Amino acid sequence: MTATSVEKQVNGTPVASHAEPRFDPVALAEAEAIRKRADAQAQALRIEAEGKAKAAQTLATEEAEKQRLANERARMKLEKDQAAHKAYLAEKEAKEAREKAAKEKAEKADAEEADRESERTAEKERTQRMWKWGARGIYAVCLIIAAPVQFLDFWDPARKFLVAAPAMLEGIALVLACGAAWAVAHRRDVLPYRIGIMLGAAIAATINMRGGMTNPAIGFNAGLVGAIASLVGPIVLMAYEHGIAQKADGIPSYREKRAAKKEKEAEEAARTEAKAEKQAADAKAKAEKAAQQLQAETEQERRDEDRQKHHPEVWEVAEALRSARGSATVTEQIWGDAWHLVHGTRKVGITAKIEADARAAETRMKGATETPVFGPLSLLESQKGPRAKADPNAPDRRRSNGGTPPLRRPGDTQPYTEGAKKQAALEQTSTTAKNAVRGDAN
């Protein structure tokens, strides 16, 4: 700073004098502006650095949270997979255990069935042996009882050859019994042998009874017992052979016939019940069909009356089509064809007036929804945040276009993305800070 000499005027006459030394205000203003500008820049840089640090911290926090969530999802997925694997193993083990138990149960049931079958077979063989030897034993006992009676009856010292008569009479039944066994084994007719057995037994019994009644040496009791023995032995042996023959021929026994009869009766009852259920179902279906038919006829009559009343011109064409096609009623196909012939459209119910009104309404709605809105309700400025107002004393930086700003139209700019909106907000914040610094400097 230097002292300067300033000429003063006194009554219009300049007078030389020495002025007091003072500071330059322009330099002070520039220095203050520079200082404020530097402070504002430093503040802006600090705010930007803090914002970047906070953004980095937020990003790091978000990344950490994402990683934590990813790890959590991975852990949950791993636990879910492990639980599913454990459940699969448990189900597999349970299935194997069930299959093993079912197999063991089936094997046990088969073994039990085999044991029961072997027991039944052994029992059959045992009873068959008992029955076989029992019948033969009874026949032998009866032969032992009946033969002596006949020997005493036929004994004649003058005719000793008659001693062979008992062997002949009892032998007839025995030989015919053997023949019946042969017939059973060779699947031949057994009836002739049985008739012969019964005739021989009857003759022997008659002779024994007559000898007991006429010969005092025999007596009535011995004759009666001998007659019974002559009959019982062949009858028991014939009964045994009869059972063998039925088994060989596959003839069912009385028990099997009774079981088959019960099974047949049960099947017949089941068939009767199924037939009754089918008849009931058929009757129900027939009734439902009749009800549906009646409902369809009623609905068809209602449609015909309504169409004939409200669309007589279309109804005439539909009736003509129905008659030409040989249909009993005006079907939906016939009605659609008639509507197309009268009104020129396949959309049943649409006329030229209705179509015109609909298109006019659609045009009005399109104009109301697509025309831009100006004024305070306009949405043109909603894409970006409010801009900072410029200083009215700032110089006009617009081009030489007569002072008229460019006019923007709806649709000139595509909608901003979320990233672009965030970037614009950051730029507007920085611009606001710089404008504040410039305003302070001015």
19 φψ region: left (φ > 0), alpha (ψ -120 to 50), beta (else):
beta
- The structure tokens 């093993």 sit at 100
Do 342 and 317 contact (CB within 8 A), yes or no? Answer: yes
Sign of the C-alpha dihedral computed for residues 257, 259, 261 and 267 taken in this order:
negative
Q: Give the residue among 257, 142, 126, 251 at the shortest CA–CA distance from 190.
A: 251
Give the end-to-end CA distance of the chain in Å, rounded to a whole number.
25
pLDDT tens digits, the chain, 442 residues: what are they? 444 444 444 445 554 444 444 556 777 777 777 888 888 888 888 888 887 888 888 888 888 888 888 898 888 888 888 999 989 999 989 999 999 999 888 888 888 888 888 888 888 888 888 888 888 888 888 888 888 887 887 777 777 787 777 778 777 877 888 887 788 777 777 788 888 888 888 888 888 888 888 888 788 888 888 888 888 888 888 788 777 777 766 676 677 778 888 888 999 999 999 999 999 999 999 999 999 999 988 998 898 899 888 889 989 999 898 889 888 888 889 999 999 998 888 888 888 888 888 888 888 888 777 665 555 555 545 455 555 666 666 655 555 555 556 666 776 666 766 766 766 676 666 666 556 555 554 5
Contact 316, 326 (CB under 8 A): no
Euclidean distance between CA atoms 276 and 417, whole angstroms:
75
* Model pTM score: 0.38
Is residue 208 within 8 A of residue 230, CB to CB? The reply is yes
Give kind and range of the element (H or E) at residue 433.
helix 418-441
Question: Which amino acid appears at position 429 of this protein?
Answer: T
CA distances from 78 to 65, 74, 85, 86, 144 (A): 19, 6, 10, 12, 96
**Distance separating alpha carbons of residues 274 and 384, to the nearest angstrom:** 81
Q: Which residues 6+ apart lie within 8 Å of 300 measured at CB?
A: 329
